[in-house]
Amino acid sequence: MERTSAKRNAILALLRSTTTHPTAEWVYAHLKPEWPELSLATVYRNLAYFKETGQLTSVGTVNGKERWDARTDDHAHFICTGCDRIWDLPVICPPSLTRCAEKASGSQITGCRISFTGVCADCQPPDTETTGGMPL
């Protein structure tokens, strides 16, 4: 059984308090003032532990930095390729897609994570809207 620690609890609490899908460096920077002895290695080690135990998931790597999410229910993400922000979307994997993937792979699908990439409204040029970056 893995022991808990105050630092581990602080890392998880911080991750659960934000919807920014932070990097390990973000977590470290936010906790370092309160925990001066905290190391970046400790943050990485605990993120790996939380992922292994299902307490958080990796959204993926954005601009070379792994991003984390303490929300573990079924949902999708939108990742802006302009500013690297990530939003949660209330989209789940449709059963038809799961069946198609099972048929194509000959495997049993046990989970699905969907990430959409594009350019958010803030990063789009002023003469475009959310139509794939094409002017209306």
Q: Are strands 115-118 and 76-80 parallel, antiparallel or unpaired?
A: parallel
pLDDT band, very low/low/confident/very high, at 128 (cuts 50, 70, 90): low
Cβ-defined contacts of 9-14 (< 8 Å, 24+):
10/34, 10/35, 11/43, 11/46, 11/47, 11/50, 12/46, 12/50, 12/55, 12/56, 12/70
- Reported pTM: 0.80
Closest to 69 (Cα-Cα) out of 24, 133, 116, 15 = 15
What's the pLDDT score for residue 136? 35
Run of H or E residues at 118: strand 115-118
Domains of the chain from N-terminus onward: 1-72 (1.10.10.10), 73-121 (3.30.1490.190)
For the chain, percent of residues with pLDDT exceeding 70:
91
Which residue(s) pair with 88 in the sheet?
77
